Structure 1
Amino acid sequence: MESIHEKAQVLIDALPYIRTFHGKTFVIKFGGGALDGGGEESLSFAQDLVLLQHIGIRPVVVHGGGPQISSLMGRLGMAFEFVNGIRVTGSDAMEVVEMVLTGRINREIVTMVHRHGGRAVGISGRDAGFLVGTRKVHDGRDLGHVGEIVSVNPEILDLLDRHRYIPIVAPVGVTSEGEALNINADEAAAVIAGALKAEKLIMMTNTRGVLDDKGELLGSLDREEILSLIGRGVIAGGMVPKMQGCLRALAEGVGKVHVIDGRIAHALLLEIFTPEGVGTEIVRGGGE
């Protein structure tokens, strides 16, 4: 009997969060690596999305796919190169990027959501001019079809929301001339969240969150603390552009950003509906 009461208390404890977030938009970045093998991470992620949708939260998913792109390029005998963590994307590589992101991973996530009773539609930045960008140049070097977003047209997201579909976004953009662009998924999620003035941007990663110099999880950070950690080299490598994207999202009106461990079953629910959460929350500053 006690366990039944405990289950009821879990629901009661979640009620204030459900009230607060009803009707709000959450942009969630989901790493493509979690899909390999169709493991517990991808199963619980799909279940969490369906629950969020049914209680009135509006999730928008942006997914990655780097490991799958590298794997397919390797099987095809194609060499690949990274510059400062960015994949150099020639025309042939861009074909593989689109094949993997829009043709495989996007459809897998849509299918998982439908299997668990949700409604989802897969789109890319090409659809309805959703993500328009330009080619990115790094230190004077042409990176091929690597892009950065110039404008976001949320009309297609509004259309899907009115009909209660969860948008699953592949981070492929397009230039004004119609050329495909490979957009970093963290950047795409941050820019989309800012354009939508989302209540939350949730970055699901393969780490516990943001760690201090002793490897301990930092529960909450603001802009000044993040800049200090970057300056001291505590935040380094691939976490730096992720944090820059988080700060950009906050500056553009996102309520809060969360960096959580996507390897934890039901990490989304634990972060959103419990006071302690499971990762790092990032706020504008001054305890906002």
Structure 2
Amino acid sequence: MSAMCFVMKCGGSTLAALPDSFFKDLKGLQDEAIIPVIVHGGGPAINDTLGKLGIETEFVGGLRKTNEAVLDVVEMVLAGQINKEIVRKIQLSGARALGLSGVDGKLIQAEPVANAHEVGLVGNVSHVNAELIQGVVKMGYMPVIAPIGLGADGGQRYNINADTAAGAVASHLGVERMIVVTDVPGIMKTVDGEKKVLPTVTVQEIDEMIASGEIYGGMIPKVRAAVQCIQGKVREVIIVNGAEPEVLSRVIKGAEIGTRIVK
């Protein structure tokens, strides 16, 4: 399975800003029967819509406090607006894509997170319907997945962090390596007064660099997010800048680009 597909995580705002060449690269991979399974987020667009609707939202430990009203907006923006925007962009490149949310075909089953009393309807992934994803891939379509989950009874929806969802999808598919597409070239470290991209870093080294202040500001959530993707069978995550030419096909072919985060 992993020989013919890989999992890619991308924020909704990052994907919207990527050049046409990125989508041409996706098409090139699909032509070679290497099918990306895309899991996307959409935090900024959700914030924007909640603001327009006058619905207050707050974050507890990096997770959006979610009630039914917030969840309606999360589902509308993620599974509707952003998911379809990504599908349109992929199809404009000549590639084939199919948009899904975790609700469709019970694709992502979820259970409440441990601190549900604080954050509400936020879920962890308990199961992924890998057969459904494999079926879509076999038909020659790229699955584009919005991270909404369903409880075991199929009635309750859950808001799932996109990074957690991507890691779970990769693990259930048996994929060992995942690519996280961002707007930064990787994890930077200052060496002799010059900022350089670290080619490889371990999870432990990341914790140390956050504690020492070497990783700071907006880079912290990006790096923590990538670390969240390392779960189950996933052994390594590669952070790359989506604006780099042919970045995906180069990574797939083994080029040293971005930062590899290893267990």
For this structure pair, what is the TM-score category when the shorter chain's length is used for normalisation?
0.7 to 0.9
Identify the residue that residue 170 of structure 1 maps to in structure 2. Answer: 146
Identify the residue that residue 281 of structure 1 maps to in structure 2. Answer: 260
Q: Deviations over 1:134-155 (max 9, x none)?
A: 12243x7431221111111212
What does residue range 175-254 of structure 1 map to in structure 2 within 5 Å? Answer: 175-177=151-153, 178-212=155-189, 215-235=195-215, 237-239=220-222, 241-248=224-231, 252-254=232-234
Provide TM-score, normalisation by structure 2. Answer: 0.87
Give 1:235 shift. 4.2
Question: Aligned partners of 1:253 and 1:141: how far apart in 2?
Answer: 30
Task: Say if 1:24 and 1:198, in contact at 8 Å, map to a contact too.
Answer: no
Provide TM-score, normalisation by structure 1. Answer: 0.80
Residue 47 of structure 1 aligns with an amino acid whose one-letter code is: K
Structure 1 stretch displaced more, 155-164 or 220-229: 220-229
Gaps of 5+ in 2: none
Larger radius of gyration: 1
Identify the residue that residue 123 of structure 2 maps to in structure 1. Answer: 147
Residue 27 of structure 2 aligns with an amino acid whose one-letter code is: V
Identify the residue that residue 159 of structure 1 maps to in structure 2. Answer: 135
Aligned length: 256
Residue 247 of structure 1 aligns with an amino acid whose one-letter code is: I
Question: Aligned partners of 2:98 and 2:68: how far apart in 1?
Answer: 27
| Cα gap change, 1:265 to 1:71, in 2 (>3 Å) | farther
Identity %: 36
Residue 29 of structure 1 aligns with an amino acid whose one-letter code is: K
Identify the residue that residue 6 of structure 1 maps to in structure 2. Answer: none
SS at match of 1:123: strand
- 1:256 counterpart (231, 236, 242): 236
Question: Aligned partners of 1:113 and 1:34: how far apart in 2?
Answer: 14
Task: Say if 1:34 and 1:263, in contact at 8 Å, map to a contact too.
Answer: no
Structure 1 stretch displaced more, 47-56 or 204-213: 204-213
Task: Say if 1:226 and 1:243, in contact at 8 Å, map to a contact too.
Answer: no
Q: Deviations over 1:155-192 (max 9, x none)?
A: 21111122111100001111113211111111111111
For the aligned residue pairs, the C-alpha RMSD in angstroms reads 2.4
Give 1:45 shift. 2.9
Give 1:200 shift. 2.4
Question: Aligned partners of 1:131 and 1:111: how far apart in 2?
Answer: 23
